[in-house]
Amino acid sequence: MKLEKSKLTGNQTVQISGSKSISNRLLILESLFKNINIGNLSNSQDTQLLKKALSENTGIVDIHHAGTAMRFLTSYYSIMEGKTTILTGSGRMKERPIKNLVSALKDLGAEIEYLENEGYPPLKITGKKITQTQVNVPANISSQFITSLLLIAGKLENGLEIHLVGEVTSRSYIEMTLDILTRFGIKNNFEGNIIKVEPYQIKNTSEAVHYEVESDWSSASYFYSICALGRETIHLKSFYRKSTQGDSTIAKIYQDFFGITTTYHEEEHKITLEPQQNFSFPEKIVLDMNDCPDIAQTLCVTAAALKIPFEISGLGTLRVKETDRLLALYNELKKLGTETEITDLTIKSISFGKPEDYISIRTYQDHRMAMSFAPYCLIGELHIEDEDVVEKSYPMFWKDLADILTK
């Protein structure tokens, strides 16, 4: 896809669909407990794949590139008594480690086999009744492993107590899950490194719990980047001031480093992104993004486009996402003239030079690579390879982007 050098049209409004993170959690709970009514469900490919998997009664479930679905369904099928399921995915999915989650489930009494390589999908899962109540889990692994356990915890007759060992990564995502459980009526407690979830007490009512899904803050991050580079006002719907999404911290990050003020319109469930005039950009951005690693790519591209030195830490989980996102950033930022240095946990800029004459961004089957680099079209022309990867989380992205840009 060719993105010509463009300008941002001011005062445009974008409606982003429901959060993929929240939607996927709710779909698992809806399938387990039946009495949830979900509004503004995400239209992402990941969510649709999970919804399809939960609605089908088949022995083989292929979730393609949907990593969240792989993790959540591993625990889900583990407690489906009497049902055997082969859970598989794409070639890249078979390279994404799942051993920590499988080991935790096995410690609880689950029956799971690796069908190809030890520690990786595909999995053969034989559903059993789980009665164990405690499990130790490394705290620095993907928060989705922990959430996967939390989502089934209320279905276990004795509940579940998870002991997180070490420093917790992406705590905000765990807290989002617990907030959803609380709103649904599943009691829980998170103190220190111990999470306790009580078994769900069925209420004597046929009325379903309605949950209106807030729009996705990860998707909103790209429009913060567009606003930072285009310096015009953008309106986004449907977002709330008191969000449980960890990526809502994008509002503070972009205010602090790029002068983008967020105004909340409570009654309209709308936010306004407005660039501050004559904002003094920082000499350097130093930030720990341990709690919001999914928006690191967006931040790095914004900083590179504005030639602001950056040093971002807390990015250990990016190595095992859809691609090795740190290596992908290292490779693709070079095309913008930005040299970086990466470790297993960090990325920092080394120098800013002249962009390539023909910029073609590889996406590595990663939706966030495509969308995080797209705002650069406000600086210069670029090409995005395999642009359809955005369907994983934000199918309407290219249309929404085109609607707010002029050549």
Residues designated catalytic: 294
Cβ-based neighbour number of residue 281 at 10 Å: 14
The type of residue at 380 is G
Strands (DSSP E) contained in 238-381 are 260-265, 270-275, 285-288, 310-313, 338-342, 347-352, 360-361
Q: Is it true that the peptide bond before 275 is cis, omega within 30 degrees of 0? A: no
Cβ-count burial of 171 within 10 angstroms (0-12 exposed, 13-18 middle, 19+ buried)?
middle
* Tokens 């974008």 found at: 14
Give the residue from 16, 3, 9, 5 showing the smallest Cα distance to 218. 16
Cβ-based neighbour number of residue 375 at 10 Å: 27
- Burial annotation 364-373 (CB, 10 A radius, 16+ → b, else e): bbbbbbbbbb
